[in-house]
Amino acid sequence: MPFVDDLLGALGRRADEEASSGGVDEDGVALLVSVLPERVPASAARSLLVIAGGDHHVARAIVSQILAGDASNIAPVPGSNVRRAAMRHAVNSCYISALFCAAFLEHDAYDGAFLQAQAQVEKDHARKMTLVMINLLRTGVVVHEVLVDVYRDLLVRAGFATSSTRNAQQDAHELFVFLLDLLDAPLLAFHQTLHHAVDADTDDMTVKVERAIQLPVAGSAVPCPAPGGLSVKHLLDQYFFGNTIDGLRRRLHHSVTTVSALCTLTLAPYPTSPSPKRRPAPAHRDPSFMLPVLLLRYASGTSKDRTPVRLPEFIDATPYVLPSASSSASVDFQPATCRYVLVLRSVVCHLGCDTLQSGHYVAFASRRRPSRRWVRYDDMDAKASAREFASFAACVSACADELLHDAYLAFYELVDMADAAGAERTRILGDAQGQRDYALAIRMQERESAQSLDRQRDQDYLLAARLQAEELEQERAAAEAESAFSAAMDIDYI
């Protein structure tokens, strides 16, 4: 069955349930049917009118986005001055709304993955409905609980959860991974190197792929530095450079021995396609490359670990990133300047309770640049509106307990400072200084100074080349003039 017919049929069935309880304006339904496309039946129009709160303009906007989703069209990320909407709560659906607001509403890093049709009908309908909901959020239309409920049905048909657990709360991270796997979206690629004191082995250097960087908080062996406490930066250092593998079998001369090895990782600064034969990965990095960071606050058989973990808005990621093939820089775990910066874009927080299948999910997200504003989304808000803050610092000040103790899934954008526009580099540097992250600011300034010297040197070379060319041209012209004069003198003499 085509997606639009499938969705409108589901809405029609819910309209019948609504009609049985009374309260539907049939005159309004008739008026709405007269202005909608012919393929929209009266039963679906009745449900649309309920979803739109009786507003015909909103109902028509919903139909427009349903048709856009069916055509695999996605609305652009709204500007900073556009009103935000959110999803309404529909029985334990907060994990859906929090994930959508954090991963898809304010940022376009995953937009491309949603535009490719899926061969399996159930998966393609789930993809199109995801697009519909993203489009509604981005165009400022509240996503009614009926649409959320229909979406859950489509997720179950696509393989997420079961019919018996469809109304149970799920793990927001598991839904995120399910959606990206369903869409065959690009993965994060890491180069893994094993360091030991015996003979080198071909398995000492491998590539692994992940959907997210998973950082253990519960039972973490990372020491808590003072002052300031534990931060994502400390956990990332441990993830990339602090892992040891024991019981490794390697050769030493002519025998096999058991050794321990230090395991280090470096991140490829571009996404990697999971199906290169079917859809080759682009040769260039996407303009917006997002790194999901999962804070594992739950260990098997233990309660939730609410150890405070700071989320820096900016992290120098240069030590973590694999130098590009065109880069002349050598692998250096402590580079002098800052080439790559992780910029925090959004956070999913899990509030309360000792399991991810209970409690409540909320989201925080930064507005579209150049705005510095942050927004808190909570589908339990009766107004279905967002709470705004002037900056991330103001957001942390007002919601410190949630962001420090309950942050679960953070989205960091990897920004290449060499490719970033001048205004973006200046903004990141200014914000880093404003947050008193002087170490990062100094490294960024050192890089800017080095690039400025390189540009000056290039300009000097160009100037010298132009002057040399002008001198050669003058010498050539003088030689031609002298030759012409000599020829003229020879003629006169004869």
- Average pLDDT of 336-358? 85
Q: What's the rounded mean pLDDT across residues 116-125? A: 92
Specify the pLDDT at position 464: 67
* Backbone φ, ψ for residue 455 (5° rounding): -65, -40
> Looking at the DSSP assignment, which residues form a beta bridge with residue 407?
349
Backbone angles phi and psi of 426, in degrees to 5 = -65, -40
Contact 410, 403 (CB under 8 A): no
pLDDT (0 to 100) of residue 165: 86
pLDDT at residue 428, as a whole number: 74
Distance CA 4, CA 129 (A): 10
Coil, strand or helix: which one is 370?
coil
Owner of token pair 């409920």: 149
Average pLDDT of the chain is: 80
β-pair type (340-351, 387-389): unpaired
Between 410 and 493, where is the model more confident? 410
pLDDT at 194: 84
The model's pLDDT over 433-461, given as tens digits with 9 standing for 90+, comes to 666 554 565 555 555 555 555 555 556 66
Share of the chain above pLDDT 70, in %: 76
Closest CA to 136 of 62, 54, 188: 62
Residue environment code for 334-367, b if the CB has 16+ CB neighbours within 10 A, otherwise e: ebebbbbbbbbbbbbbbeeeeebeebbbbbbbbb
| Dihedral sign (CA 57, 62, 68, 71) | negative
The pLDDT of residue 284 is 39
* Secondary structure (H, E, C), 143-190: ECHHHHHHHHHHHHHHCCCCCCCCCCCCCHHHHHHHHHHHCCCCEEEE
Strands (E), 211-288: 213-216, 243-252, 255-267
Mean pLDDT of 34-51: 79
CA distances, 494 to each of 363, 401, 455, 480, 490 (Å): 97, 104, 58, 21, 6
In this predicted structure, the answer to whether residue 326 has a pLDDT above a threshold of 50 is no
- Exposure string over 238-266, b if 16+ CB within 10 A, otherwise e: bbbeeeeeeebebeeeeeeeeeebebbbb
The larger pLDDT score, comparing residue 292 to residue 297, is at: 292
Residue 410 has pLDDT above 70, yes or no: yes
Which of 121-130, 238-247, 306-315 shows the lowest mean pLDDT across its residues? 238-247
125, 66 contact by CB (below 8 A): no
Encode pLDDT of 274-293 as tens digits: 765 444 444 334 458 999 99
- Comparing 23-32, 127-136, 211-220, 296-305, the range with the smallest average pLDDT is 23-32
Closest CA to 357 of 315, 411, 298: 298
Q: How many CB atoms lie within 10 A of CB 34?
A: 8
- Mean predicted confidence (pLDDT) in 34-40: 76
Answer whether 188's CB lies under 8 Å from 269's CB. Answer: no
Write the pLDDT tens digit of every residue in 182-216. 998 999 999 988 887 676 777 778 899 999 999 99
9, 44 contact by CB (below 8 A): yes
- pLDDT at residue 330 is higher than 50: no
Lowest mean pLDDT among 61-70, 90-99, 330-339, 464-473: 330-339
> Which of the four pLDDT bands, split at 50, 70 and 90, describes residue 364?
very high
Residue 27 phi/psi, 5-degree rounding, is -65, -40
Window from 1-15, 238-252, 456-470 with minimum mean pLDDT: 456-470
Residue 129 and residue 150: Cα distance in Å, rounded? Answer: 9
Q: Is the dihedral of CA 427, 433, 439, 443 positive or negative?
A: positive
Tokens 């079917």 sit at which residue? 278
Tell me: pLDDT of 129 over 90: yes
Whether the model clears a pTM of 0.95, i.e. scores above it, the answer is no
> Is 127's pLDDT higher than 90?
yes
pLDDT of residue 210: 95
The residue-averaged pLDDT of 81-97 equals 86
pLDDT of residue 486: 59
What pLDDT was estimated at residue 224?
62
CB neighbour list of residue 401: distance below 8 Å, 6 or more residues apart: none
Contact by Cβ (8 Å): 196, 250: yes
